[in-house]
Structures are given as C-alpha cells and as structure tokens.
Amino acid sequence: MSFLTANNRPRGVARVLFCADVRLGDAPLWLPSKQRQSALLERRLAFGAVVNAATQSPADGLVICGGLFSRYDPQPAEIAAAAAGLETLRNAGISCYAIHAPDEIPPEDSLSGLELLSRLGLIECVESKVGTRVFDLRGLRVAMTALVADPSLRGNPLRKLNFAMAGDVHVLLARASVERLAPAGVNGPIIDSDSVNALTGVNLLVAGGSPRPQRLKAKKTTVISPGAPLRPAPDGGFANVTFGKNGVLEIQFESGVGLPAGEVLVPASLLETQDANTQIRRMLDEASVGSTEVTMRVYGRTAAPVLREAGLAELCEYGRSLTARFSLDVSGLLTVEEPEDCGRGPLAVVEQIEELLEADDSTWRSSEERIAARSEVGALLRTARGIGGMA
C-alpha cells in the first residue's frame, strides 16, 4: 500500500501507471471461433484491470509503453474496447499517453489505431518531431521523450545519452528491453547497461520490451520494465510510480489480471454411463462461458477398460475448441482391476505403468505371464495417451 493516498498527496506530487503489451485484438484467425473469442476477451479484461487500477489508485496519468493494439489497423471492436476504457479514465480526470510498438506503426499515409484515438481526444501519442514533450500532472511538469528505434540501425537503440531537463521530472519511454532486465531469448532491441549508467537528465527509463515487471537503479536513472497486464504476478502486471519535484518517490508493481477460470468436475462413475460424452460436453459448454481457461478434473476410481472407452481424448479436443487454455487434471483418478474392487491397491495409471516397467524378467513365472504383462503395459500406455497423461 502506498504511503501517498489521494487525500494526502500534495500538489506537485503525481502518480502515473505504466504498462505495455496489452495487445488488444491479438488472437490468431486460425483458432476455432469460441477459442478465438476467448483469447480476445482476456486481452480486454487485462486492459480493464489497468483502467480499474488507475481509477481506484487514483492515478493522475496512464502511460502505455507500446502495444495497446496488436496491429496498426485494429478491428472496430478493439477500437471500441480501448475507447471505452480511455473514456472512463478521461471522465475520472486521468490523462493517457502512449507510444507505438513496432507492429502498431502504420505505413505512410495511413492512420494507426493509436492516432485515431488521439484524434478523438482520448490519448496523447508521445512520439513527436518536437522530441521531448512536457505535460502538467497535478502541478508537476512531467517531460516525456519517446525513444523510437530506427529499424535500419543494429545494436543498442539508445544513442543519445545527455538529455536536458525540460520539466520537473524526465521520463524516457523506450520500446526496447534493458540488458539486465531482458528475459532469455527476447526478440527486439536491447539497451546495454553501459548506456543506461551513462544517462544524464533522465529520472526514469521505462523499458516496454519485457513482459515481467522489474526495476533496477543505474547511476543516475531508475529503470523499470512495467510488464504486461495479461498475467498475474510475478509473470505479468504493471507499474505504479509516484513522482515529486525531486524525481521518483515510490514504485509499486501491481499484479496483472487474474483471468477467470472455469472448472469441470467429472466423477469416474460418470464415465461408465451411456451418455457420459454428452453430459461432459454440456458441462464444458457451461464452464467456458465468460472464461478464458477451463480445467477438467477427472477423479475417483474406475477400471482401465472404462477409461479406454470413455473418449477422454476426444473430450479434451472439444475443450480446447472452446477456450484459449484448456487442461486435463487426472491426479485424483485411480485405476483398479474392477470398478467395485480396489485390487492390489488404488494405483494411478502412471504408477501402474512404472511398477510394471521396473520389474525385470525374474519377476515373471513364465514367458506367457511376461507377454501378458507387456500387453497390459501397452494397454495402460494407450490409456495414458488417451487422457493426456503421457506422450
């Protein structure tokens, strides 16, 4: 919890939320219809989480460090979703700013989604031929400079190291990762640590190229990766920064949206009924409404032949067609020799496989028994593959 609330925050002290990579509209066209709608929904929910955090904080400004949209020409539905959130912020007196990510930059003589929102008066595009722009936030003059990487240049995108202090505080917005914050295998430009340490005239460098919220302190500049709001902490989120006339006063990282998840509980006894497939499909349909993630948990005790005939693999494929993320949990499923008997003990499918594979030839009393056991191993492996337990 911040020590500076809305009631005790004096004039000249401003709170700004920073985020990146909301990527509204990011859902591949080849996905099945329901799964694609689910993916679109989770992006809108993530942006909604940022809007809610800004209004509840309350913040004086929101800065999107690239990636509000997944493309330069988003669909009308995504424009409308962004406009609705930005209008909520405008009505709350919260100013909004953004820079373009590389895939949001339009061709010449075209208008990007961000530029359209700017013409509607909902957001300020910080990129400008003027260079540094100064905005008044609660009596604090906040200077913002967008570091626009030239795609024709390779290597470190931070070429200018000396910035004049145009306001009370100076924020450098970069659509790039910083060397010590960049995750392994990151694509895109990376600012090296030596350049960051040599920076002057910049209070805060915001690196919008990494999904995980992080911070580090260079010699004269604080560096943050605000993160992407699509995932809960620590893998995603956004940054809440408080500025004063002396620079950065406080940094808090907020968790990204906890995506709504559906759960389908399937008792093993249901698998033995004639209309099990129809019933489970109906349960999956209900769980996927308004959810971006569904887990089907099969639990209880049943015989291996019942599992082989239950069609769990087909049900998993159906579940994957309904939502962006589907998983099957069989950790509570026990297989036995007979449904009404626990046999040698209620062992899970994989445990039975391991037990049989570890036994050497001396375990078997005859070659016929060994052949029968190997046949049983094959049947169990097929069952495990069918329920997603083994590859």
Residue 40 is part of a domain; what is its CATH number?
Answer: 3.60.21.10
What's the total number of domains in the chain? 2
Helices and strands, counts by H and E, the chain:
9, 18
94 and 19 share one domain: yes
Across-strand partners of 143? Answer: 134, 170
Domain boundary among 231, 255, 279: 255
- 244 and 375 both lie in a single domain: no
Within 10 A of 147 (CB to CB), how many other CB atoms are there?
21
pTM of the model: 0.70
Ranges assigned E (strand) in 66-185: 95-99, 124-125, 133-137, 140-147, 169-174, 177-178
Same domain flag for 331 and 248: no
Indicate whether 240 and 269 sit together in one domain: no
Examine the domain organization and report whether 168 and 134 are in the same domain: yes
Which structural domain, as residue segments, surrounds residue 134? 14-255
Contact 336, 346 (CB under 8 A): yes
Same domain, 171 and 204: yes
Residue 7 located in a structural domain: no
Residues 47 and 81: beta-carbon distance below 8 Å: yes
74 with 223, same domain: the answer is: yes
- For 122, half-sphere exposure in the C-beta direction (CA atoms, 13 angstrom radius) is 18
Same domain, 172 and 32: yes
Whether residue 2 lies inside any domain: the answer is: no
End of a domain among 202, 233, 255?
A: 255
Q: Does residue 391 belong to any structural domain of this protein?
A: no
Q: In this structure, are 30 and 92 located in the same domain? A: yes
Residues of the chain where predicted confidence (pLDDT) is lower than 70: 1-8, 128-130, 149-153, 183-187, 258-260, 290-292, 324, 337-391
Q: Tell me, yes or no, whether 220 and 363 share the same domain.
A: no
pLDDT at site 387: 44
Instruction: In whole angstroms, give the CA distance from residue 235 to residue 228.
Output: 8
